[in-house]
Structure 1
């Protein structure tokens, strides 16, 4: 009976009417009249799009939050806008709503104050302006926004912060028209077990009123009978409860949403109707144990995110929110922290629908709001956001911005009593301290007895990018039962378009170049490293041998998904040779993953064709239950020696001549001429068919300089061997000028016991290189502590001089490339190729330019001499605050047992300069 009555009355329900005065987002704005008091284009009336930050529109002064008070912008913006209100709204209550205005905001309607000045930039506030309006005619809105607050605690919490500080009405402004008797707001507590409680807050109710509710599924179908409670006159809130059998719970892996429709009824007539999406979800913080969602202990794989876009500042859009959440999901993240203020409502909507845990944060960067203004802002924040199932934790400030008098307010306004934490502090049994060293502390962090939950770690400045060191950190976090995971700093570079500086992108030096992504969401290498490290399907190390049986040992690192709900695609692929061509698929297939429950291990078996040895690489791609790619892994089938042997040209028959001079040996093979130094054993000159190729002065050995003894030469079946002898370091250095015109290098050496890099180098003019095609793991460069994320394939890169975090052409050309098989170097005069017959060699192509804004060398590791290198070991990279050795074992220098004479490093290369 109740279901039928509910359906019948819904058609006549009075909805809340929303009329936008501004635009809805950064792409849809409305011009208002505007006057800026100071800075650029001040002192004159003009127009400005709303919503926006006025600095991005050419007004006022750009300020980074760490600017001293003497230059911090204190301008005001005066806005005026005319609007009409329909006559038939006269019997309604009309509110004007501001979703965000930076910072102090004074509102007048038709010259009269709408209410007290609002202080606090990132919070939704509203005024009842019914008494001030002219119905059926034009009304004048005047808004004065002060960039600098008169409340110093607001300035300290929001504006003396490590991010860009803007001014203006940066989120939408609208009117909402409500019946005089109406539902003000609702708060929902829907547990995973199906228990549902809603507090409904009311205005101006009369005797005989009733609140009715109905829960609907995602298809808008009722899932149970409607339920109701009576309301008596003067009652400001009521509570409704019900129980739903076997609801689909909300998780990031399966973000099941429901909708509840509330109706305020009078004599079976609907007076007001409100809809609210929600999810059935239970959050618990169990001291000395972990954070549980729906009874499952969670490892948060999260990132910090600012509400930001380069040419619109804090004004964003739902389209951007969808893009950002999808990028996080592509990195296999399950969580996001709102740094350092509440986000746009649409961002939380997207987290609800696509699935991310959210830490929602009250502003307070190293300073807190006072209790008076903080109380109001906590209420505004929680009342706006309380029903989002994605929000699982409230953050009271950040890094010292904690007013402890506000902690209990979150629990008062939130019926779910979600945990409250202090980011950057040990509080309420969660150790949230930031940027700790790997495996740090005695009795704390990994060695303590509280839940370890860093809300910022691995600062992603420049090419540290947050991927460097993550594998080490995550191994500790994943295997420590008291770890709840953590949050990388941060999502994207906060580079603002400087309309006062010819639209250049500005990160304020090293302050805001912190992202995994560039400002326009350009993917840095760390994007793919994080994607693999945080994959919910973990593969143990496996080498494809001739006896390979198709089995991989895997672990299910999901929280709520059985791997049988996923699929795996595999391909056995033959890659194109250096001379070009198309790759060939030898065999492929798809199947469901084995049934492995979360946290458990098992075996994945794929088909192995009888001719699998013809392939060069095996690719496995795992697809999640929603059809999205988790990651693609690649395993080499052939060794570099096998690839090289297949690519070498036929044996030549050219005569080889040697001309011995005072300090050089000149060796010719057909149209090829080579010069070798008789005083070093190094290659001195290459001439191909009369054209000099300036690849020379090597192999320079990294580390201490070897002591040269002599050079000799003798013919062999392959050609002419030039052999150098040394008293130390080099065990062997042998050149072979081959009868087919190639130059072969065989070298072996004794590395130092400890070094940041080990290998040999040559010189080549950087300004002559235009690009390269190579086979190896790409397309991004690697560091010793950031190896994962690339794929074995044939890649092409055009030359660039990208400085990660300061210029944004990715992937970067310069740096180290992993497991190099061969490369064709493209130059302005004559291209040449290099084949590598040795395993585990890194190709170094030039030295990346250090970031101009860096204040230390943590993110600019040293490189060996020369500029084209073949390395057995390479440098790690650090972060903004940490040297690489503080980030874990992979950040340590490479070590080698050089105490025994039979231990050495060897390398075989072929150079084709023809």
Structure 2
């Protein structure tokens, strides 16, 4: 009996507590993976003119309806979507206020319940809105919901600001729809200002309160530990302010995202009638004019990226898993900030930024066109009141690139007690210079003569394979010299490609408008991902090469803002590499270990000794990985410990040992060495083909060439016993000399020397081999991705294998790309349909040119399609840089300039060939 009474009392308590909370009931699904079918009628375009079903939430284009529309499109059919469904309101809600909430629907939305209008048509596709439907619903019964969504807005300013931008303009109810039940007397919303000094001010908006009602607040950690004492305020009107100060609180920052929870209890006659929980963080974010951006009194720089809320198969209907993945990728690149481009994101994304640690720039929509003042004021309120309590949000963006209405600038502070900074991205405004796509000269000028706090909210435009990390090291190091530097935001996080249900599932990036990402539509990583990760590593090692007398000491710099490197570890590994032949594992680990980092405060540098000296002599490469407190990799650096000739000297012998023969034919010279026949064209001096000992023909031809402007001057053949030397000299715009040596028991050796004149995109020795016969490549060098002169970072030294692909970055996403320049190649095996062959170098700084990448179909200039030799295989001493959508490479800084010989000293090197 006692047990039954106890359970009954628990039930009563549970029911009472439940009644105090806001109750939510979903009518739609909750995300892209959890949807509910509603009735649907599309008025125009694909699958239009009939009632059917559609998943809610979703963008209707991705469900096969209407017309895919990009902001720049001229022809828009402006279809409507008619939705219908039913829902039941519990009888227990009889005495409550019932609201219907739409988290996002594009663009104009008319809502009816049981045939009656819920209120004015909502205009603005990226904002949460609600209606009080208490008087329209039937309690304990089924209710009808009809929603008409017009893709085009009847408001001209909203239409231009939202649907004329440089991004996809999807339609439909793409975020969840739900009901909320609240007590008649309730807390409507809260706005919290919790500062780094421990002071907390909370503004509470409440409805239907009476004299004598109070709100009691209690702060806890997220695990439920009470912090400080509870505090109360007596209520008057519809708005009340609670204040309290706390000692020994943990501050929120992107490196230590400490969060708290505050519970607000609305109390009448000692009974709780409504209770609201809100997460928040103590932190202070301010701009100090002519100085910088400060978080909790510490000057910070944004290592940021611009992110669209988009997934290829579901448009702007996302999920927690996608948000987690994106934030994980952003933080893995050692970024600390993200800008919402060009509209507010899902609530859940901001919740995760709070808990995982990213500073956020939250943006009112307006891409080069602004909302009218009446609409803008309403939408600013909807934006700020939804997002105000997120500690991750440190700045409000009032539109983008001219899409700002200056009459709205002061409205943000009406709803934000923190009075966060308001900026105009692209403009000098409010003490900031957020110029978009500055070139390197602008950065230099700003660092010398600027006065505003500088952080470009878009730069290093990553169209196709351009921008992003290319030139970033030059930009970043120069920006660091500026007294009012606050970092910047790369454009953009991912290629904004969508699955076209009307084009057999093709992923469409709308020509060259949207393939701008560091990663692909499904988050496929480009080379810039790894380069950014290294350049922006907060544990920073600047050592490019190790000296011959390397003593195991590395200089480490702390580029965190709030973290002591004593919280981090270093993992080191030593390796050597086996022969280039065969398919076996080719990396042999010699030794490894971990060391705890000493105390190194932000901004400090210190030499760290690695316990590697005893194993260095038997090792060919050193790897060092910085590991964060949570065990995640911060960055990895690798260095060869031996030169190319030291590594290759044991590999350039030949097991065959036969006499060398010479055969002359009409305009052809054949040299037979170790049972392999080398055929040369005596007119050009170039190798024409090779026939190996098994009689298989290898179609290597057209070289060695130092450039198309070279004209043969001499062709000399000498034989000394069984050693044959073929020397060819060329003149033209510069000169070159090639010398082949064939000897028994040795691989054929090509010695080259060349001295081109003037500036060059590239310099090197090239050959031809038919692309259609290449199946793959294996090499010892840096990989696995290709490089450009101004994007060498992030690749690791080791043995790599790639199968042939014809990937065009941003048009298809089979990464890493096969074609392109590869750095620090010691040897490479070209895998072919004829017979594999290997080429060894004696130079540590050779770039391998593998074929010529296909140019993107919709590229309108050559900024992101650097020059390549008119040949398929090259061993280069210099390669070109790559530019951005808006800048040629030469405007991107010192690393991005064209190449030329210094002091007229020719380039020399040797190659050995194993067929």
**Partner SS for 1:520:** coil
Match of 2:136 in 1: 132
Please list, as runs of the form range in 1=range in 2, the aligned pairs for 1:292-331 lying within 5 A after superposition: 292-331=294-333
Match of 1:249 in 2: 251
Deviation string, structure 1 residues 268-306 (Cα, Å, up to 9, x no partner): 211111111111110111110111011111110000000
Does structure 1 retain, via aligned residues, the 8 Å contact 2:446–2:482?
A: no
Deviation string, structure 1 residues 243-276 (Cα, Å, up to 9, x no partner): 1112111111111111111111112211111111
Does structure 1 retain, via aligned residues, the 8 Å contact 2:574–2:615?
A: no
Match of 1:645 in 2: 649
* CA shift for structure 1 position 714: 2.0
Match of 2:4 in 1: none
Does structure 2 retain, via aligned residues, the 8 Å contact 1:703–1:758?
A: no
Distance in 2 of aligned mates of 1:362 and 1:242: 32
Deviation string, structure 1 residues 729-757 (Cα, Å, up to 9, x no partner): 44531101231362211101112231110
Match of 1:93 in 2: 97
Do structure 1's residue 58 and structure 2's residue 60 form an aligned pair? no
Corresponding residue to 1:471 among 470, 473, 480: 473
Match of 1:497 in 2: 499
Match of 1:191 in 2: 195
**Partner SS for 1:895:** coil
Corresponding residue to 1:785 among 776, 790, 806: 790
* CA shift for structure 1 position 685: 1.9
Please give the root-mean-square deviation of Cα atoms over the aligned residues, in Å.
Answer: 1.7
Corresponding residue to 2:833 among 828, 838, 848: 828
Distance in 2 of aligned mates of 1:607 and 1:651: 40
Distance in 1 of aligned mates of 2:709 and 2:523: 43
**Partner SS for 1:463:** coil
Does structure 1 retain, via aligned residues, the 8 Å contact 2:715–2:726?
A: no
Match of 2:405 in 1: 403
Distance in 1 of aligned mates of 2:674 and 2:79: 76
* CA shift for structure 1 position 547: 2.2
| Gap regions ≥5 residues in structure 2 | 1-12
Do structure 1's residue 30 and structure 2's residue 36 form an aligned pair? yes
Corresponding residue to 1:700 among 702, 705, 709: 705
Higher mean Cα deviation, 26-35 or 433-442?
A: 433-442
Match of 1:732 in 2: 737
Corresponding residue to 2:853 among 841, 848, 851: 848
Do structure 1's residue 200 and structure 2's residue 204 form an aligned pair? yes
Deviation string, structure 1 residues 174-197 (Cα, Å, up to 9, x no partner): 001111111101100011111111
Match of 1:384 in 2: 386
Deviation string, structure 1 residues 763-815 (Cα, Å, up to 9, x no partner): 00000011111111000000111110110010000000000000010000000
Does structure 2 retain, via aligned residues, the 8 Å contact 1:656–1:720?
A: yes
Distance in 2 of aligned mates of 1:147 and 1:611: 67
Please list, as runs of the form range in 1=range in 2, the aligned pairs for 1:89-168 lying within 5 A after superposition: 89-168=93-172
Deviation string, structure 1 residues 580-599 (Cα, Å, up to 9, x no partner): 44422211111112211111
Higher mean Cα deviation, 59-68 or 438-447?
A: 438-447
Distance in 1 of aligned mates of 2:544 and 2:314: 47
Deviation string, structure 1 residues 577-630 (Cα, Å, up to 9, x no partner): 212444222111111122111112211211123231211110000011222111
Match of 1:877 in 2: 882
**Partner SS for 1:383:** helix
Match of 1:4 in 2: none
Distance in 2 of aligned mates of 1:636 and 1:445: 36
Do structure 1's residue 43 and structure 2's residue 19 form an aligned pair? no
Call closer, same or farther: CA 1:9–1:189 in 2, change over 3 Å: farther
Does structure 2 retain, via aligned residues, the 8 Å contact 1:750–1:898?
A: no
* CA shift for structure 1 position 412: 1.2
Distance in 2 of aligned mates of 1:443 and 1:525: 30
Higher mean Cα deviation, 672-681 or 866-875?
A: 672-681
Distance in 2 of aligned mates of 1:553 and 1:87: 70
Call closer, same or farther: CA 1:95–1:716 in 2, change over 3 Å: farther
Does structure 1 retain, via aligned residues, the 8 Å contact 2:327–2:353?
A: yes
Call closer, same or farther: CA 1:751–1:594 in 2, change over 3 Å: farther
* CA shift for structure 1 position 388: 0.3
* CA shift for structure 1 position 564: 1.1
Match of 2:442 in 1: 440
Distance in 2 of aligned mates of 1:716 and 1:55: 77
Does structure 2 retain, via aligned residues, the 8 Å contact 1:86–1:136?
A: yes
* CA shift for structure 1 position 483: 1.4
* CA shift for structure 1 position 710: 2.8
* CA shift for structure 1 position 702: 2.6
Does structure 2 retain, via aligned residues, the 8 Å contact 1:542–1:552?
A: no
Distance in 2 of aligned mates of 1:456 and 1:599: 26
Corresponding residue to 1:212 among 203, 213, 216: 216
Match of 2:581 in 1: 579
* CA shift for structure 1 position 651: 6.8
Deviation string, structure 1 residues 692-729 (Cα, Å, up to 9, x no partner): 10001101113631442232222367x32212234564
Does structure 2 retain, via aligned residues, the 8 Å contact 1:465–1:524?
A: no
* CA shift for structure 1 position 218: 2.4
Higher mean Cα deviation, 858-867 or 367-376?
A: 858-867
Higher mean Cα deviation, 722-731 or 149-158?
A: 722-731
Match of 1:862 in 2: 867
Higher mean Cα deviation, 115-124 or 654-663?
A: 654-663
* CA shift for structure 1 position 446: 5.6
**Partner SS for 1:439:** helix
Does structure 1 retain, via aligned residues, the 8 Å contact 2:697–2:834?
A: no
Number of residue equivalences: 899
Distance in 2 of aligned mates of 1:546 and 1:324: 42
Match of 1:3 in 2: none
Does structure 1 retain, via aligned residues, the 8 Å contact 2:41–2:49?
A: yes
Does structure 2 retain, via aligned residues, the 8 Å contact 1:681–1:711?
A: no
Distance in 2 of aligned mates of 1:88 and 1:826: 73
Higher mean Cα deviation, 737-746 or 591-600?
A: 737-746
Match of 2:3 in 1: none
Does structure 2 retain, via aligned residues, the 8 Å contact 1:13–1:270?
A: no
Higher mean Cα deviation, 471-480 or 88-97?
A: 471-480
Match of 1:794 in 2: 799
Match of 2:564 in 1: 562
Distance in 2 of aligned mates of 1:73 and 1:257: 47
Deviation string, structure 1 residues 209-246 (Cα, Å, up to 9, x no partner): 110111111211101111111224xx211111111112
* CA shift for structure 1 position 660: 3.0
Distance in 2 of aligned mates of 1:501 and 1:9: 53
**Partner SS for 2:370:** coil
Match of 2:427 in 1: 425
Do structure 1's residue 15 and structure 2's residue 17 form an aligned pair? no
Does structure 2 retain, via aligned residues, the 8 Å contact 1:730–1:747?
A: no
Does structure 1 retain, via aligned residues, the 8 Å contact 2:658–2:675?
A: no
Distance in 2 of aligned mates of 1:727 and 1:848: 29
Distance in 2 of aligned mates of 1:134 and 1:395: 42
Distance in 1 of aligned mates of 2:44 and 2:465: 38
Deviation string, structure 1 residues 532-570 (Cα, Å, up to 9, x no partner): 111112212253344221111121111111111111000
Distance in 1 of aligned mates of 2:255 and 2:26: 35
**Partner SS for 1:860:** coil
